[in-house]
Structures are given as structure tokens and as C-alpha cells.
Structure 1
Amino acid sequence: MGNRAGGARGGGAGRRIGGGPPVVEDRLTAAMQLASILVLDVGANDRLGLGRRLGVPVPLTEPRQASGRVREAELFEKACRERLGRLDLTLLQQLHRLLSNGATPLGPVVDEAMQDRVRLGLSGEGSDPSVGTATAADDTSERSHSTLQPFASPGALQKSPERIRISEDQVIAALGPGGSINEAMAGYEPRPGQVRMARAVTRSLNDGLRLVIEAGTGTGKSLAYLVPASMFAVANGRRVVISTNTITLQEQLFNKDIPVLRKALPHDVQVAVLKGRTHYLCLRRLRLFLSNGLDGAPERILAARIAIWVRTTETGDRGELAISEAESAIWTNHLSADVMHCTTRLCRDNRSGRCFLARARRRAEGAHLLVVNHALLLTDRAMENPVLPEYDDVILDEAHHLEAVATDQLGTTVSAREIGFELASLSQPQGGTRFGGTVARIAAVFVEAAGEPGREQIASITAPIHEACETARVAVSSLFEVSTDLMDRASRGGRGDAVDRELRLTESHREGESWGPVAMAWDEASAALALVDRGLQGMVAAFDPFVGSSETVDDAVADLAASRQAISEARESLTRILAAPDDTEVYWIAGAGREMTMHAAPLAVDALLQSNLYEQKSAIIMTSATIQVGGSFRHFRNRLGLPQDTMVLEVASPFDYPKQALLLVPRDLPDPTSPAHGTVIQDILAGVASAMNGRTLVLFTSYASLRAAHAHLREMTPHLTILGQGIDGPRSVILDRFRATPNAILLGTNSFWEGIDVVGDALSCLVIVKLPFTVPSDPVFAARSELLEDSFMQLAVPQAVLRLKQGFGRLIRSGTDRGVVAILDSRLVTRRYGQTFLDSLPPATIVHCGARELAGLVGDWITRVPDDLVPEHVAGIGDGTGLE
């Protein structure tokens, strides 16, 4: 994001800043970048969001003409100057040092704000506001976060020695007509399905049982588990963990549902959100990051945003910031509170109660309800220094993601870029015998601690490390190059840098002639990385007499240990992938553009979940709107290895799907594998979008199809606004534009199949281009398929059914929504398994029709009531009820 910020004045040429890549000198882009720094939680690509927050009136469509862009840039610059002018002088000086003097393209506006302050005669005490020579770290001492008071922990829970049963009647009364939830929540309506679910959750908590619940959209499942969970936790002094897959649901629980809960219930329920360590800012690392100098514009822009944020944040959670992908890497590598860099024993922030991670942990220790995500839940037990406090009972929402999250978290990924970054951070040749980087910096700390006699000692240790780092850089680069050659030869494809490709490493590959260069390259890389590891170990040992003598020394040792651990873990992961394969894992190499990665993942997660979750906890409750396949929980239970005594419950949606939703299934479409399919689909999309005058979400299974449809719709429907994922902006930005634009069509893939919520008329039509089958060549899918007798029906179809159910669920989000779903895949009617998909969907009114009838039927449904449809077209899908 920072690299594309652009100059604050003038043209379209590029220039280099801070040794980084070219920055486009576009005044509007630079103004939005500065606005994003000041707003903190809105990204630089979100014009509409920035405009709303700063009071800048901006049109829905970004101006393309130079004059229009300049006019809009001036409005943003004016708003930024006003906001900068209201900052504390010390902070404004810090931003000036970070962003001005050619360091970033944002300097001119900051310069003007600084000059305005000087004209007002508001100079800082003991400082000259016109001078930018002080170090950027000057204002990251305690005074930069002086408003952060030491945290008063609510105290650990007093756990009852025996499970105290809570009353089902009290739970149901709270959720019923005239109950406390009804009084606390405006517009609340008691729902029978919610009561059924709450009763089942109560029994599970009381008796320590396993329970799986499919709760249809609109059930109110969050309160159905939060009410009994809070009553149980308070009565027993026991913590109940609530685990979700997405941040969106975490925020909904914490900001919407839990405040209602606390208002409604008589007991004082303590609630906390806890995330993985890398989500939290480490103040020690922030000081180090700023004092070591900032290489380029991206680092300086992120530092400026954090300089403002750190003065007010109570949590230090990066989720409060709008951080780009590039900035995310900077955060992880330099700022996060990861375990490798933690110096708890002598950390002054920990002692003073200012450490954000420690504060989050103390909140968690006193919480009755602790909200986490699946990734942290599944990996915390394996950590050397776990984050989660003790708990016995857990509720997993969005449970349909559990297998995928377990696969990801229990596997490993190694990239050439990350290893190269670590080696370059350690040792940076500067000509002759001079080096920069972590090793050289920490050598100076050793000399300061040991005195002049230590200079020769540390030089004898660091010289071999520098040599080993260079050898390792070359060897690792060679390893990934020969691995890329192996992948290209195996796929018989070219070496196009824009192509995403994967190669599963099987026994046949390892026994073939092409494996020889890979094995040889790995031997060399392994030996070189081992030398780096041993050198760092020796350097850490040299500090032993001085550990604890100062924070500077402890910081140095922590950084060395972290670098050593990173190198060691990379070597261990590569050994696991290349030299010591196991029958219980799947291995593959992948290339996306110029990025090359190597991977390992568990072939199955059931045994791992059994040992890490099922055998360790008492009540385990899993819920989601999409669990069943064809009316059965069998697939879900088998994939997760749930114990036989696990109870299951289906709670149907309260929505009147036959009246609210029309499902159109064309009979005469080309097969999805046919060359004619794409053209026919594009014409249908143009007709449907015109009939709906926008208000349509189209879900794709590939970016190539999405891009082709985007170009076609732009040409065929110029009166509509076409918004394409990855074309017209990031996910959140185009979602906001879609909600705000009456005649918009939104084209999405991957993440748009679930987790988006557009209520009302803004979304009235959903088009699903193809059934969302997993690509057969996906390494994990292919390996798991080989273990099954009928992999298509046992794995491919169930996975696609669950994804289709998620996609379908984007349309009807409330009891007043009405709309149309069209599935443009002929396999629904030409393949035997098509009925399994239809049986798994909510009970909408279904119409089998011709492709040419689609646009007309869409228009009819929106303008007429469902009863007006021709009866012979209508077929039921099932009532979606039942209990297994």
C-alpha cells in the first residue's frame, strides 16, 4: 500500500523512495494514504470510508480524469491538514520526521501542517518544530503511551469443585416472550428454534456432552448458546471458550450480542477476546524498530500510523488498524509480540503493566466467556508458552471450517522469500569486512557489555556467521530453483511467472531421476543453515555472563534467539518435506508468480482433534448453518472423527423460503466443461442483471471466468455499475460500494461465498455460475481422495454441497428479504448427484426452466407474489426439518 502512495503533487511518473520500488506520483492516492494514517482503521483504498470519516463528499466512482482527481485530492488534503493541526505538537513533530524530507510522498501536506503550527507560535517545549533531525524513536518512550494505565485484573475465576447444573427453565425464560433478552434488545422476537437450541446447549453444558447443531440462518444461534454458556460459567466459576473462524463473527459477538447479554442477565458475566500472540503490538520491538532506522516509505507510513494509535489503544490489537498485506509482513517481522522475541523476565513494559499481550492474558484469566478463533484454539496447547488460560468447555461456531483450519494450523509452509529475509536481516554485506544487520548490531551490544577485551572474542564468533549466511542464501536460492524446475517438468508447462501452479510430492517423484538435483541441493542448504544455527547458538552463549544486566542485553539475546529459532524451524520444516516424509502427511510445492513455497499438511485431522480436543475437554458444542449434506450429519462426523456418543440436532431456519426465495435451475445449458459454456453464461448474466437493474451478486469458482464476465458486462450493460473482486478494489471496499449503489452487480469468488451480509433490496438476485467443486489436483484433496472407496461421492460432492449452501445463504438474511437464486450448472439436472445438492438447500420455490426464460422469471418474481407462478413449473425441495 505504501509503495503505491504516490506524490502529493503532480504527474504520473514514478520515482524511488527509500531504496524501495517505484511509487506512483498521484496526488489523490497520496492524499488517501495520509488520510488512512490519520483515520487508522480505514484502508487507503477505501475512498468512501475515508470520505465519510473525514467529512469529505466523494462520489461513488473514483474520478479518472486528472482534473477530477486533483479536486478530490485537495478536499482530502484540507481535511488531513485540519486533523493534523489538532494533534499534540510532540506527535505532529514525530509524524513530520517520519513522513517529510523526501522520505515518503506524503511529506508536503505534513510540511504545510507543521508550518501552520509554527505560524500560530505553538512551538514545543525544548524543541524546534521546524527541525526534523531528531530520531524517529524519540517519542516512543513511556510518554507515547502515557494514557495506558496499569491494568487492574478482575481476578482469576473461583472454579467450583463439582459441576453445578443450571436450570433449563431459567434459560428458556430469558429467551422467551417477556423475558430479559426481550426487554434488553429492541425488536427481539422469540423463536421456537432458538429455544430448542438453547435447551440442547444447556443439557450439553450440564452433563459435559458432545453436541453438533446445524442452525439455519435466522435461528438466533449466537444468543442460543451465549445465554446458557454465561449462566453456566457464572454458576460454576468455570470459563467457557467461544471459538469462531472469522473476525467478523468475533466482532459481532463482542460488540452486539454480548452487550445485550450483559444488560439482560442479572449476574455479572466477564467477557474477553483473546487472539494469537502476533496480533498484539510489542512496545519493546516498536522502540527497536524505530531506533534502527526505517528503510523505506512502507515502514515509515506504518510507523506513522502506529505512532498515533499507540497513544490511545487499550488493547494493542492490530485488528484496530487497517493494515495492508505489505504492512502485515512488516508487523509480523518487526512489531508483533511473538514468542521468540518475548523478554518477559526483564521487560519494563511487562513490569509496568503496559505489555498488551500480558494485559490480554489477564483479562482472559478473569473471563467467564472467552472469545477466540479456531486457529488459536487448535494450536495453543502445542506452544511452548501457551496463551489460553485453563478451560473445560468449548463452543465452536462456524464449525464447518474446523477441518480446514486444523489442516492449515497443524501443517507447515516454508518460502524462499521468508528464509532469504531472515538471512538478510542477520547479515548485510557492506563492502570488505564490514557488515550490517542483526549480528553486527548485537556484536556492538556485546562489546559495550564486555568492554574492549570482548571485541576480539565477538569478532571470532560473528565472522563465521556472516560467511555461513552468505553460503545459506546461495544454497536456499538454488534449492528453490531446482524445485521449481521439478514442478515445471512434472506439469509439462512453461515457466510463466503469472501462473499459479502446484505439484504434490509423491513417492514416484522422490524415486525419479528429477529428484536427484533436489536432494543434492537440499543437502547443501541443510548444511549451510545448520552452520548459521550453530553460529547463532555460540553468540547467544557468549552473552551468558551478561544476561539480566540490562534491558539492552536482554533485547539482544532475545533477538538472537528469535533469529536462531526462525532458521532452525525453517530447516526442520524443509527436512520434514524433503528428507523425512511420513505416510500420515501430504507434501507439495507451489508457485504463485515469482513466489515459491513448500508445504506439509496432515492427511487426516480426526486423530489430532481426538487427542488435542475431544479427550481434553468436557462439553464440546459445534454449530454452523451448513453442516448437513443431503439431510445427514454423517459427512461432518466422519471428517472430524467425532465420538459415537456425539448428539446431533437440526434447527430449521424460521424464514418462509417458499415465499421469500425462488430457485431457478435451467434445463438446457451447455456442460460446464464445454467451450460454449462461458459465452452462454455471460449472455445470461447480462439479461438477468438488466432485468434486475443491478442488485445482483454473481459467485464464480475461478478468477478467469470472473474477469471474462466482468469485461462482457461492462460492454453489454453500460447502464449498470459492474464491481469485480480484484478488479475494482478490495473486498470490503467493493462491498460498501455495492450496498450504496442501487444499480450495481457484484462479481466475487472465494471469500464472497460466505461471510458477507447484505440485507434488504440491495441484494435481490444471486447467480451461482458453477457448482463449487474443489479442483481435483489440489494436493490435500487428491491425497485424501486416494483413501476413499468413492472419493467423488464421499468427499468432492459433500464439500461442494456445503459451499453451495454457504453461497445460497448470501441471499435471504432476514424475514423480510425476497429474492432469486439462479444456479447455471447443468449438472444439477444431468447428473445423478444433482438431487443431493437440491435436497441440501433451504426449501425455496424451485423452477426448472429454459435458459431463455431466466431473465423473465427473475423479473416476474420480483414484481409478483410466488403464488402467481405457473404450478407445473414448481417442485419442492424438502422442508429442511428433522432430527438425526
Structure 2
Amino acid sequence: MNQPVYMADIQNKIYEAGLIRQEERIVLTADNCVLLEYYTGKTYSYRMVELTTLKAKRLFSKAAPLNESGYQKAMEKMLSQAGSESENTFSIKPAMRAKNLLEHIFSNILPEHGMDFRENQAALALEMLESLQGNRLALCEAEVGTGKTHAYILAVTVHNLFSTNKLPTIISTSTIALQKALTEEYIPQISDILMEHRIIDKPLSFVVRKGKSHYACDSRVKGYRSSIAHNDRHEDEELLSVLTGLFTGACPLDLDKLPLTDYVKSCINVERCHLNCPLSSVCRYRDFIRKAQSLGYDFQIANHNLVLADVLGRKNGRRSLFPPRGVVIFDEAHKLLDAARQMYGMTMENVELERLVASIYHAIGTGNPDKAEIVRLCETIQEQNVLLFEALRYAAGTSYDRNCYAVQIDLNCIRALKTLMAVLRRLSVLFYTTDREKRERYDRLVNRMEQQEIKLFILFHHASSILWLEMTGATACRVCALPKQLDFLLSEDIWQEKIPYILTSGTLSVGGDFSHFKRNNGIILAEKRRIFETSKASPFDYPNHALLYLPQDMPTPSDKDSGYFQAVVNRLAELIEVTHGHTLILFTSYRMMEQAYDELCGRITSFPMFRMGKGRLDAIDAFRRSGNGVLCASDSAGEGIDLAGDILSSLIVVRLPFPAPDPVLEYEKTLYPDFYGYLNEVIVPGMLIKLRQWFGRGIRRETDTCVFSILDSRASRRYRNDILAALPDMPVTHQLSDVNRFIAAKKSGAYFE
């Protein structure tokens, strides 16, 4: 006899009533009754529970478990003893039962485990559940403190309990920090709670997926370890210990968890993994991939880039990196467009073809009958590569910053591109071989040639791309291309797939309007009936815990006016003194940040000063430990960091974070009939979303209090209404004295020590 399909809410109902033992399980359902089986160690004991009255009755015991005829007799006995005054629980549609169970979890179960009931969080989870049931594309904005991560984990888990399509869920993130929180905190916590309340029968499982460069290759580890051991150097002892642990299996395959340099990781990762490897039959990486590709995990956790790599790979006929999935969740979805531009874009450095030529010379040896022609073709590649990049530099136009320029493909570029593509095609033919010893090496070379030819093809058909040139060194440069119709490609490659999607972040809309996000990510081209939008406000008490300071006496921002810079530094110093440190200052310019930091260091003596440089996170930790420090930082500190408590009690935005001019924005400008349309549809929404992300650093817990200051005169004039509509409701002042009173009223004595 078949086991019942949807038992999660039934098991929980009996558990909450204290009617089921830990070892008991439901083995039969009939009308509004369930049959429980319990093995005592000697016999199998059977009881029935009426779901309406929640009364349990012992039926019988047997030496052996019931067979099919025994189940039939047990059903007849249950029905003869059951009442008839209730609606049959099993007749309620699974979608409604799922909704009821999810409401019960948020209203009753989570509070038992110290998690406060948040109305917006529960409502968000229920909307996510309905979107999953309706196969929708859900845009779920949840401001800081809403609890969106718990919401989608529970929504997906409950959805799968009442679904016949129990496929893994992909959770795509933008940061390692969120992946770590998911695997070490959120999923284990929810799993333990649901297990305890008999909602799930086994713990929620997950696997973290990364690109090949993050995993160790047993064969390469063995070879590299031998080469290091041969040197017999004392300073290599620690490295040898790690490599030995990798080779013996004592260390994990994930290189991110090991104390190794980027160079060592590049020498031992699996990027060159191939089927003919002598260790393939015992390869731990292949075993990991086989397990990860199975349907055995509830959640597949990856970053946006890997998920998009899978999308592009499947589009080009390659095998999927993931198993069949039932749901895709894009957390930190405001970063999806950046990842898409990386994955759909193309970059070609001026040294790539030179490196390819060097590899070709190394591979041909002395016995190759086509060596003379190959050498001649390689010389042509080097010559034409120089001509191509000289032409690109000569054709460079508008400068977006000191190292980025608009570029045109002129006739000289076209000639070089045609020649290079023809030469690479000819070399691909010459390197075709049936020699088994050379095949693997030659195949890798041919693959590199094909990749270069694809890049040249994109440049040749440049009309469909946005092009620009980046200077990366004195002589080094790279040409970059991005499809003009990226929105269409995303719509076609992702949003047309008929599975439910959840895209969530604290900043997806401008005042509840998702148009900007939908347009940029191609969602606006999806079926309208599939798109669902919701925005949940932060539960934090901004009206009482926050103050917005918009001074009206600041000069207009200017990079050339020394008076403007001095006015900013003076006001920063005043704010730091009034708030007694505890300040994060966000700049839109590294140059201005460095200048302001240097000047403030000479004026601020009561509070430690910190500056966050490019790629340096140690300043954040030092600021956090300082207790009352001042941190000067750029956009990198404007999102993704958690500075809860009094350490951050004053957040200062020096200039409104308008997007910096770049080739993509320059192209988007051409799509609008006038500048004001472009300003209102692209520039201002982009600024407001970034500003909301920055403000999200200020209050991270229910008890936090913070002063938010914008020292840009445009915030109190031209864009005042837009800014106030986009930010959480809070009191606004133009007086520095109000900031002083706010801090004095909200902070305790220890704050001022």
C-alpha cells in the first residue's frame, strides 16, 4: 500500500498535540484518521489518531509489520471507531495546507525558538510560497531587518513538502559572506527546528558549488608536492604539510579553506581536469561532482557568476553544471546585473595572442612536418595583433576616466581582425591530430584558438556591442565588449524558462517602483502575468531611532573648487565632534577620500581615524574594534558589511552616489530622445538605489540608533523629494544642533567615554 504523499502538516499537528512518540511514524491515512506504527523492540504497536478531535486510540500489536491485507483490516478498524463530525483534512488542497503550515511555523513555532514574530517576514514568506505555487517570477524587496533569508528557505521547504516535483533549489548569491551564513547559520537552524517539530523527516541538505579554480586536483597536488619536496627547503615545511593533507584526503578539496597563496592554488586546481587522467577513477573532485549533480541535496548554493556560466553553457550545448532544479533564488539580486555584464561581456588583452603563440612554439617540437607554416602563421599573428591594438588605441575617443576610453572599429582594425581569424582557423586545421600522445595537448591549444577566434568575431561584428578600451599598464591594455541587447539575452536565456524564480534584495525598487530593475535585467520582457512584485519595509523604528541631517548651507559639489572641499572637511569635523566619533564617511571618489582623510587626521585627535583602501577589509575590523573610531571609505563599504550597535552611529554621505559615466551609460543615453528622460529613467533611479544601499549600513538591529547626513547640496534642493520618498521615514533637520540633541538623547553614558 502506498504511503501518503503530504504528511508534513499532519505529523506536526500530532507532534504539537503530544500524541506521537519520537520513534513512531505514520504508515496509513484514511478519511480523517492516521495510523501510527511503533516498534517496541519485540512487537509492532499500532495506534490511530483522529485529526479533528486529536484523540489517540490503541488498536493492536503484531509480531511482524503489517502487509497489504493487514493495512486493509487496520483501515476498516480505524473507520469503525472514528467519529463522523469533521471535514476531511486530506481533502483540503495541498496549496492551502502548505499555506496553513507556513503561517503556523511563523506564528507559533519560530517564537518558541526565540525568533520574534515579524509580520512583514511572515507576509513575505507567504507571498514567496504563492509565487512558487503559481510558477511566477517574483521580485521580493525586503529592507534590512525583514528576515528575507529565513523567509525564502521556509517558503521553498514547505512548498517542496506539498509538491510532487521535489527537485533541488539553487540559491545564487553575490558574496561569500552570505554563502557562509546560509551554510553555517540559516539552513542548519531552520533544519533543526523543522526536524524537532516533525515537519521534515531528515535534515535539510546543501552543497556549495564553485568554479574549477576553487578545487584541488589530486594529480596536480601530487606533482607540485613532489617538486616542492625536492627543493628540501625549511621554509616550505608548512606548505608541504598542507599539500600532504590534500593528497591524503585529510584536507578538504575546497582551496578557499586552506592557507595557500593564489599562485599555489593556480598550480594545483582542477582547471586542466581531463578524462585521461591516471587518477580519474579515484579522483575526489570527480566524486564530489557526481554527488553534487545528483538530486540528493535540497539546496545547491552558488554565486551569480557560476549560475550564469551554467546558463551560457547550456545555451551553447554543454552539459549543465547543476542537476535539474525546481526553483532558482537570486539573493542579493541587485548584484545580478553586474555579474551578467561580466559573464556576457568579452575582454581581450593585448598579450593574449602573444601567449597563445608562445604555447604553440612550445608544442610543435622539431618533428612536426608543418612547422615552417606554423611558424609563419605565428609571426603573422604577432604582427597583426600589434596592428590591431595600435589601431584601437589610435581610434580611442571619449575618456570615461583616466584609464577607460570609448573606441571605434575602423578599417585598419577590420583588416587585422579578418587576417587574425583566418590564421587561427588555418592553425586549428594544422593542429588536428590522431596521435593519442599529442591529442590532449593539441586539443587544448585548438580550444584556446577557438576562444580567441570568438573574441575576434565579436569585435568584427561590433555593431551589436558596446566597445571600450581599458589601459591596464604602461603598455598593457584590453578591449572590452558588452552586448547592446543584454536585457533581451537575459530574458531569453533565463526568464523564459518555466520554473519559479525568486529575486530578493533590500534594494530592488525606487519607492516601490521596480521598473528600473526590471528594465536593466530583462525582466520587463517576460510574461507580465508571471511577474509578481512585493516590497516589505524594514521593521526598524526609523522615526524614533534615526535622524536625517540635510544642511542647506553647503556649496555645490565641485572637483576644482578648493572652497567646496574645505567646506566639506569643516562639516565632517563638526559632525565627528558632535557624534563623538562612531562615524562612517562614504565617498564617491578615492582621491577626495584620501585628501579628506589626510586633513581630518590633522584635526581629529580624540577619535582614531581609519581609511579603507581598494580591496582592504582590515580597516573595517580595526574600526569595529576601536569602539568610537572614524572610517573613511568608498562604495565597497556601502553594502554587505554589518556594523551593528553603537560603533556606527553616524553615517555621512559626502556626495550623492550618481553612477559614474561609463560606456554602458553612454550607450543608454542614446536610447532616450532627450537628456531629461535619460536622467529620470536611468541616472536618478540608479543613484537612489545606491543611496538606499548605503543607508542600510546605519541601522542593523532593533536597538540601533543613527544619524544620517548628506553633505551634497543637491540633496536639500533639486533631489530632496526623490530622496525622502526613497528612504525610510525619519525626522529631517537642517541644524547641526539637532544632531547634538539626538545623540545626547539616544546614547547612554558608556557611548561618550
Q: TM-score range by the shorter chain?
A: 0.7 to 0.9
Matches within 5 A, 1:277-296: 277-287=212-222
What is the alpha-carbon distance in structure 2 between the residues aligned to residue 305 and residue 415 of structure 1?
A: 37
In structure 1, the residue matched to 2:292 is 362
Deviation digits for residues 265-324 of structure 1 (CA, Å, limit 9, x no counterpart): 132222222123333233334445567899999x98996586266255665223324666
SS at match of 1:211: strand
> 2:713 corresponds to which residue?
826
Partner of 1:567: 449
Aligned to 2:47: none
Change (3 A) 1:360 1:734: farther
The answer to whether structure 1 residue 660 and structure 2 residue 539 are counterparts is no
Counterpart of 1:230 (choices 157, 170, 173) is 157
Give the letter aligned to residue 219 of structure 1.
Answer: T
Secondary structure at 1:365 match in 2: coil
Which residue pairs with 1:586 in the alignment? 466
In the alignment, residue 652 of structure 1 is paired with which amino acid? A
The question of whether the paired residues in 1 share the 8 Å contact of 2:242 and 2:251 is answered with: no
The match for 1:609 among 490, 493, 499 is 490
Shift in Å, 1:387:
0.9
Match for 1:841 among 723, 727, 731? 727
1:391 aligns with 2:328: no
Match of 1:412 in 2: 346
Q: What's the C-alpha RMSD, in Å, of the aligned pairs?
A: 3.2
How much does 1:261 deviate? 1.3
Distance 1:611 1:491, change over 3 A: closer
Q: Matched residue of 1:573: which SS?
A: helix
> Structure 1 residue 739: deviation in Å?
0.9
Q: Which residue of 1 aligns with 2:576?
A: 689
Query: Counterparts of 1:837 and 1:742 in 2: how far apart (Å)?
Result: 30
Q: 1:316 aligns with which of 253, 263, 266?
A: 253
What are the equivalent positions in structure 2 for 1:447-596 lying under 5 Å apart?
458-461=367-370, 464-465=373-374, 468-469=377-378, 471-487=380-396, 490-491=397-398, 500-505=402-407, 509-510=408-409, 515-523=410-418, 525-526=420-421, 529-530=424-425, 532-535=427-430, 537-538=431-432, 541-543=433-435, 546=436, 553=437, 557-577=439-459, 579-583=460-464, 585-594=465-474, 595-596=476-477
Q: Give secondary structure in 2 for the equivalent of 1:201.
A: helix
Partners of 1:471 and 1:681 in 2: how far apart? 56
Q: Find out whether 1:741 has 2:626 as its counterpart.
A: yes
Structure 1 residue 602 displacement after superposition: 2.1
CA distance in 2, matches of 1:780, 1:291: 49
User: Does structure 1 conserve the Cα–Cα contact (< 8 Å) formed by 2:245 and 2:251?
Assistant: no
Aligned-partner residue type, residue 556 of structure 2: D
**Contact persistence 1:272–1:363 (CA under 8 A):** no
Measure the CA separation in 2 of the matches of 1:356 and 1:315: 14
- Answer whether contact 1:756 1:810 (CA < 8 A) is retained: yes
Give the distance between the partners of 2:286 and 2:600, measured in 1 at CA.
49
Aligned to 1:628: 509
1:780-829 CA-partner distances (Å, limit 9, x unpaired): 11112211341111001111111110000011011011111111111112
Asked if structure 1 preserves the Cα contact closer than 8 Å seen for 2:612 and 2:620, the reply is no
In structure 1, distance between residues paired with 2:399 and 2:179:
45
Change (3 A) 1:314 1:227: farther
- What amino acid is aligned across from residue 103 of structure 2 in structure 1? I
CA distance in 2, matches of 1:749, 1:294: 44
- Aligned residue for 1:261, secondary structure, equals helix
CA separation in 1, counterparts of 2:250 and 2:335?
31
Q: CA deviation digits over 1:331-376, x for unaligned, max 9? A: 45x44433xx3313x3344421512674475366311222222222
Task: Write the distance in 2 (CA, Å) between the matches of 1:797 and 1:357.
Answer: 50
**Cα offset, 1:532, TM superposition:** 4.6
Going from structure 1 to structure 2, the CA distance change for 1:336 and 1:713 (only over 3 Å counts) comes to: same
The verdict on how the C-alpha distance between 1:476 and 1:302 changes in structure 2, with shifts beyond 3 A counting, is farther
Residue 253 (structure 1) aligns with: 182
The separation in 2 between residues aligned to 1:248 and 1:818, in whole angstroms, is 25
Q: Tell me how far 1:769 sits from its aligned partner.
A: 1.0
Match of 1:672, SS state, is: coil
Distance 2:627 2:635 in 1: 24
**1:194 aligned residue:** 121
Unmatched 5+ stretches in structure 2: 1-92, 748-753
Offset of residue 722 of structure 1? 2.4
Q: Shift in Å at residue 234 of structure 1? A: 4.7
Distance 1:706 1:716 in 2: 15
What letter is aligned with 1:574? L
**Which amino acid is the alignment partner of residue 261 of structure 1?**
I
**How many pairs align?**
629
Question: Is the counterpart of residue 701 in structure 1 residue 588 in structure 2?
Answer: yes
Q: Could you report, residue by residue, the CA deviation over 1:205-226 in whole angstroms, capped at 9, with x for unpaired residues?
A: 2221222111111111111110
Pairing of 1:79-118 with structure 2 (within 5 A) = none
Tell me, in whole angstroms, the C-alpha distance in 1 between the residues paired with 2:349 and 2:288.
Answer: 31
Q: CA separation in 1, counterparts of 2:303 and 2:594?
A: 33
CA contact (8 A) 1:587 1:601 kept: yes
Q: Alpha carbons of 1:366 and 1:698: their partners in 2 closer, same or farther (altered >3 Å)?
A: same
Greater CA radius of gyration, 1 or 2? 2
* Change beyond 3 A, Cα 1:843–1:417: farther
Letter in 1 for 2:516: H
1:364·1:370 contact (CA, 8 Å) conserved in 2?
Answer: no
Q: Distance in 2 between matches of 1:681 and 1:392?
A: 52
Query: How far apart, CA to CA, are the structure 2 residues paired with 1:485 and 1:276?
Result: 37
Q: Aligned in 2, Cα 1:801/1:656: closer, same or farther, shift over 3 Å?
A: same
Deviation at 1:606, TM superposition (A): 2.8
Deviation for aligned residue 1:860: 2.7
- CA distance change for structure 1 residues 587 and 271 in 2, over 3 Å: closer, same or farther? same
**Structure 2: distance between partners of 1:632 and 1:301:** 58
**Which residue identity does 2:663 align to in structure 1?**
P
Whether the 8 Å CA contact 2:239–2:260 is kept in 1: the answer is no
- Between stretches 685-694 and 390-399, larger displacement belongs to 685-694
Amino acid at match of 1:275: K
SS for the counterpart of 2:633 is strand
Partner of 2:7: none
* Mean Cα deviation higher: 602-611 or 403-412: 602-611
Q: What SS class does the counterpart of residue 596 from structure 2 fall into?
A: helix
Task: Report if aligned partners of 2:540, 2:702 keep a CA contact under 8 Å in 1.
Answer: yes
Q: Which amino acid aligns with 1:483?
A: L
Supply the AA of the counterpart residue of 1:766.
L
- CA separation in 1, counterparts of 2:230 and 2:578? 53
* Deviation per residue, 1:826-872 (Å, 9 max, x gap): 111221x43212211111222124xxx3xx44333221149xxxxxx
Secondary structure of 2:463's counterpart equals coil
1:787 equivalenced with 2:671 (yes/no): yes
Q: Matched residue of 1:460: which SS?
A: coil
Q: Equivalent pairs: percent with the same residue? A: 27
**Cα separation, 2, equivalents of 1:501 and 1:301:** 42
Are 2:140 and 1:213 aligned?
yes
Question: Shift in Å at residue 483 of structure 1?
Answer: 2.4
Contact 2:509 2:516 in 1 (8 A): yes
1:378 aligned to which of 293, 308, 326: 308
Give the Cα separation in 1 of the matches to 2:670 and 2:237.
Answer: 49
SS in structure 1 of the partner of residue 467 of structure 2: strand
Q: Find the partner of 2:191 among 238, 242, 262.
A: 262
Q: Distance in 2 between matches of 1:481 and 1:309?
A: 49
Structure 1 gap segments, 5+ residues each: 1-162, 428-436, 444-455, 494-498, 547-552, 867-884
